[in-house]
Structure 1
């Protein structure tokens, strides 16, 4: 059986620390975006393994393979013509490099999801499902690449307003350039 692939899908790529509101923002976007979009979350891929305990070295390798697979699943969904809202944590340089390579054929709108550290710590504590200090550990690293097509602040605005800001940005028709800029910077060292 063959699939009529048609045009590839657009990828709205949300990058922010743990507890920054990416998943809630993605849900808000799915309610207002046209046409139909799908939410692909790195946390959903993390949960696929269950709760099996592994030694630290095996766990690191398993997580790296899973995240590489996640990046390729994003590409596969877009290649099949699906529009996506991706939520990810680019807290390690290799993750960004891999996304830049794997997602090169696709239109990627890179959105920085920011939130002040005290609010992240408050949310993390209230959630109770994340290790204490995870957001703080990721805080500087997640946005270290410094280039976005658009940014939102979930500490200053609710997710519905942030979703509206993203939709308004998309409506301008501005071509996404962040991934292209980052790819060029990586190529020149």
Structure 2
């Protein structure tokens, strides 16, 4: 049974830093037939003024940025826009926030995986991420354990991953991963 969509579709790419989310998102924009907007969380961080903050101030600023980002995505989808989200659930509250904001039938949750050794190599090659960031994220990012579709960027190119996601979209099952996750969260409360 296919999911019933009420707003714009949200293709949510969840994976660690350097896993290939942004590269897949860029390819999705070229292969998908409908119009999509790419919403990378890094773009929201880039919009913020650069100041010196204490560690406590920085934590607050980052949480406000992520909270606003989630609401911007929800607003775009509520307006009927299709969105490719490039983000990660490295903290449980982020998933909970999105579960409360997004219509779960309108979300395709994509697990973007890559082995740690390759993530570390990519981090070193990029040079713009702190060493060990992906290693710290890999457990928490995928801790929820439920996806609609998954891809491994160590064995598939970003274009191949985008093509797999495109082929999956017409056959989205119900309940979606977001529906299952929201139901589990409600039952645990």
Q: TM-score, normalised by structure 2?
A: 0.93
Deviations 1:40-72 (CA, angstroms, capped at 9, x unpaired) = 011111111143221100000111011010000
The equivalent residue for 2:176 is 177
Q: Which has the higher contact order (CA 8 A, sep 6+)?
A: 2
Q: CA deviation at 1:89?
A: 1.1
Contact 1:8-1:79 within 8 A present in 2 as well? yes
Distance, in Å, in 2 between the alignment partners of 1:130 and 1:153 is: 21
* Counterpart position of 1:82: 81
**Structure 2 equivalent of residue 63 of structure 1:** 62
Kept in 1, the 8 Å contact 2:105–2:179? The answer is no
Asked whether the 8 Å contact 2:111–2:150 carries over to 1, the reply is yes
Whole-angstrom distance in 2 between the partners of 1:159 and 1:181:
27
Residues 143-188 of structure 1, C-alpha deviations (whole Å, 9 max, x = no match): 0000000000001111011111111111324346101111111111
SS state at 2:18 partner: coil
Secondary structure of the 1:138 match is helix
Unmatched segments (≥5 aa) in structure 1:
1-6
In 2, the alpha carbon distance for the partners of 1:91 and 1:72 equals: 18
Summarize deviations over 1:80-114 as a string: whole Å, max 9, x none.
Answer: 11101001010000000000001136600000000
> Secondary structure, in 3 states, of the residue corresponding to 1:84?
strand
Aligned residue number for residue 101 of structure 1: 100
In 2, the alpha carbon distance for the partners of 1:168 and 1:65 equals: 35
- Aligned residue number for residue 145 of structure 2: 146
SS of equivalent residue, structure 2 residue 85: strand
Distance 1:160 1:182 in 2: 28
SS of structure 1 residue aligned to 2:145:
coil
- TM-score normalised to structure 1 length: 0.93
| SS of 1:122 mapped into structure 2 | helix
Question: Which deviates more, 74-83 or 100-109?
Answer: 100-109
